[in-house]
Structure 1
Amino acid sequence: MPLSADEIKELHKYEYRILNSLEWLMKKYLWVPEDVLRKSTKLSESEMKYRLGRLMEMDMVKSSTKPYTGYQLVFKGYDALAISSLVTKGTLNALGSLIGVGKESEVYEALGLGVLVIKIHRVGQRSFQSVRLNRSYIPEWKHFPWLFASMESAKMEFTALSTLQKGGVSVPVPIAINRNVIAMSFIPGLNLNQVTLEEPQEIFDEVVENLAKAYRLGYIHSDLSEFNIMVDGEKVWLIDWPQWIEPSHPNADTILRRDINNLVNYFSKKYGLAKTTDEVINLVIG
């Protein structure tokens, strides 16, 4: 279910204490033992059980009885900690509606000093082992919950957006990050696959120019397609950067070619543009 602003507002300070304790203890335990959690929260047995019951009803915590009674923080609880921290710091005033769902993220409208976008990273929920093998930011720990993989994914994207935006690449402006959540500027546009362009050659050239700027700054998108290019009637925006790699990456040539091939094939099939992948790669790498 989508994240509920009302549920976050209604969380009691003891429930936040439990969520924070679980977050910290899950760096050590797959399932946090009940006695360890109680010692960490300093709550009475009855109080802790009542608060855990509420958190489990809201799908923020789950429990197990094998091989012992233990608890895990799950995505909704982790999201709640991040959103609450952004509210406390003044970045957010209100959480709006869900406007996008990807393979590894959810995107919400929000209010801060103006209209914002909140992107919640949720890496590896269905295929964590594949993520562990294919993402360079996953450390070689024996125990690395997907919650923390999502935090690292958000850090990767925030780093990219910060550098690219300062370097003149047309990307959303990153505003703040907490755990697995990024607050960024709202783009009043549509994904490329949702529109029919009047001047496809101009848009194509603008995308290539932005990819070239990103390459010079040390960034290859690594997941480029018509689904993460946006147009707002005036300019192009490149979104979704958590999987970026450097041009020095061992597989950089292959991954860049895949990105460019996706772009060329889309514009060729839909608009009849005749650029080849090799021509565009030469433009991007200079």
Structure 2
Amino acid sequence: MTLGIVGESAVADWIRDAAETETDVAHASASAVVAADPESVVAVGESALLALGREGLDAPVLPVDAGPGYGGVSLDASESGPTGDDSDSTDTPTSTDDSTPTKAERERLSSALDALLAREFDTDSRTLLAVTVDGERVGPALADVMLITAEPARISEYAVRSRGERVARFRADGVVVSTPTGSLGYGRNAGGPLLEPGSGVVGVVPVAPFAVNVDHWVLSADRPVTLTVERDEGEVSLLLDDRTVRRVSPHTAVEVVEDGSLDVVRVTESRPFFER
């Protein structure tokens, strides 16, 4: 068995050292880990998990400290460890990316790692989105797809279409399409709904709309949701998850549709989805 680990931090190093006593470990970039064909993967941090989604990982992945919406093991000090008590007279209450895990965090990580290596876990299937621009595939997204006006204090006009019908047209700084996984991120910050994983839908939310009565929408993900820039008053950029991928010109179709999934490991220590 090979366990993959993606992420660069003291927490990732601790997980690698702990796992090496039990199994073969590939601790590397997302692309290198996927190439190693691991049986399971630990992703430390949100960026590591998003990178694995881009690489088309087939193995189940345990997120660690990835934030709300992703599940996995949280190292938030406000949450208790496996024993229900995070107190420790010799450790600080929380760790950072550059510090070793505290005693309570080590206990939580160790318990989750044991379950992962023993294959004693469930999985949640998280939607991946395929994104095309004018018919050309530009990449997948696990959390969200966003068109955003790059210049400060400049707005543009956007249109949203679903199943061949226009859903809305509005002036705003941008528009975001969120999967259920990403609905606790940009979509929520823009006033959108929280979407349950496995519901087969995406949330579409204007970002800082010019009008005060602009709605947000829950649309089916099994057919393309099409975004267009109707009027460009500043450069409009396309973001997929945590990456800016290109500029989008007016009247160019950006299509977003469900295309595969990523299996996220759920263990006793995993953060509940709706916990914020």
Greater C-alpha radius of gyration: 1
Higher relative contact order (CA 8 A, sep 6+): 2
Q: How does the TM-score come out when normalised to structure 2?
A: 0.27
Q: How does the TM-score come out when normalised to structure 1?
A: 0.27
More helix by share: 1
More strand by share: 2
